Amino acid sequence: MTLKDRITDDMKTAMRARDAERLLAIRGLLAAIKQREVDERIVLDDAAVVAIVDRLIKQRRDSIAQFEAGGRADLVTKEAAELKVLEAYLPQRLTTDEIADEVAVLATTLATELGRPAGPSDMGKLMGAAKAKLAGKADMGIVSAAVKKVLAP
């Protein structure tokens, strides 16, 4: 069963249970998936769906920060509920130490390819490789911090 099928089944379950908050979050996710499929005329695989879920989670976190700054506790609660629903569709996340280990391996590989030690000017290359390998498995903010630490002189 694909992730998209699981999300659709969860929507049906939420409809039967009359769980309006969960249903709203799942419908928003399915709408984002469908929009991308229609725009690009493709059928999304699980990795692309995880990328959409990641993007929606980032939007929810940004909204929560803005609503907290504005003193809107009611909207913070609503966004936090949607965030919790969306997080259920992400694969198991890597720990900070596991991310650091993966980035170190990628940096070593990059240094071998370049024929010299990787430095701060190679951040884009290393981030590209890290994003390709760790997309959906890790928070990219933590990955970026690990890359900066590895490339620091």
- Give the domain ranges of the chain: 3-87, 96-151
Rounded-to-integer distance, Cα 62 and Cα 149, Å: 25
Looking at domain 96-151, which of 1.10.10, 3.30.310, 1.10.287, 1.10.3470 is its CATH number? 1.10.10
- For domain 3-87, the CATH architecture is Orthogonal Bundle (1.10)
Per-residue pLDDT of the chain (153 residues; tens, 9 = 90+): 899 999 999 999 999 999 999 999 999 999 999 999 999 999 999 888 998 998 999 999 999 999 999 999 999 999 999 999 999 998 888 899 999 999 999 999 998 988 888 888 889 999 999 988 887 788 888 999 999 999 887
Q: What amino acid occupies position 141? A: G
The structure's pTM equals 0.77
